[in-house]
Amino acid sequence: MLRSTGRSLVPLLEDRPLGTRCTLLRPGLTPYQDAWQLQQRIAESVRAGGTPALVLLEHPPVYTLGVRGKSEHLLLSQEAYLARGATVERTDRGGDVTYHGPGQLVGYPILPIRDWGLGPVAYVRGLEAALIDVLAHFGIAAGRAEGLPGAWVRGEKIAAIGVRIARGVTTHGFALNVNTDLDRFTHIIPCGNAAAGVTSMRRLTGGTLDMRAVEDEMAAALARQFALELVEDRALAGVADGR
């Protein structure tokens, strides 16, 4: 396991002063499909020279399968998931199956990493470093697991990463278990790894955390890692509607 020191682990960016303007969007509880469409619109804008964005939100209960997702890693039928108040979505991100729901902080950085000379591996390492730093801020010693993206605590995954990079711009991102209902993960084989457990910040600290405080720390950590100047846009209704 490796720990981040707070300094950017992305060599090409660590000495660049903050200055790449990036819009911070925090729309709150957002249906998965709505967030996916929002990402796609922003990504097209970024490819055309528009401002990058960081979207931090929560989803209603949903199970998502990435491009390598195997249906056998869903342990219930579609009807059984619906009966439990959850939907199932196939997506174009990397990775296998995971769960998103209230109490989990989901982050979608939409960044032109090719313009920065940054490759996929370095980008994922940067996400991991930011997550590890945030967890350290809340007193949780997290690290990496060899060959398994995400953030881990004593062999259990606390944050999952699944990204897509198309024409040099990132979509999808990470999911950090803050106050997540961990029982939801018993209905899948998380990330296709039956041997790995799942944990949360609430389980490790013994108390419910303030989601807004975790969001703030996450935004700051990503700004450090990727040399961003975050500017929050609170006019989310028009953005969400594609106007």
Query: Which positions are catalytic?
Result: 191
Q: Structure tokens of 135?
A: 């967890």
Could you tell me which of 224, 227, 230 has the C-alpha nearest to residue 7? 224
- According to DSSP, the residues that pair with 160 across neighbouring strands are 175
Whether the CB-CB separation of 25 and 141 falls below 8 Å is answered with no
Residue 50's Cα: distance from chain center in Å? 22
Q: Structure tokens of 108?
A: 């979608």
Whether the CB-CB separation of 158 and 200 falls below 8 Å is answered with yes
DSSP string, 150-198: EEEETTEEEEEEEEEEETTEEEEEEEEESS--GGGGGGB-GGG-TT-EE
Beta strands, E only, the chain:
20-29, 53-58, 62-65, 87-90, 97-100, 104-110, 143-145, 148-153, 156-166, 169-177, 197-198, 228-232
Could you tell me which of 223, 55, 211 has the C-alpha nearest to residue 130? 223
Collapsing DSSP to helix, strand or coil, 79 comes out as: helix
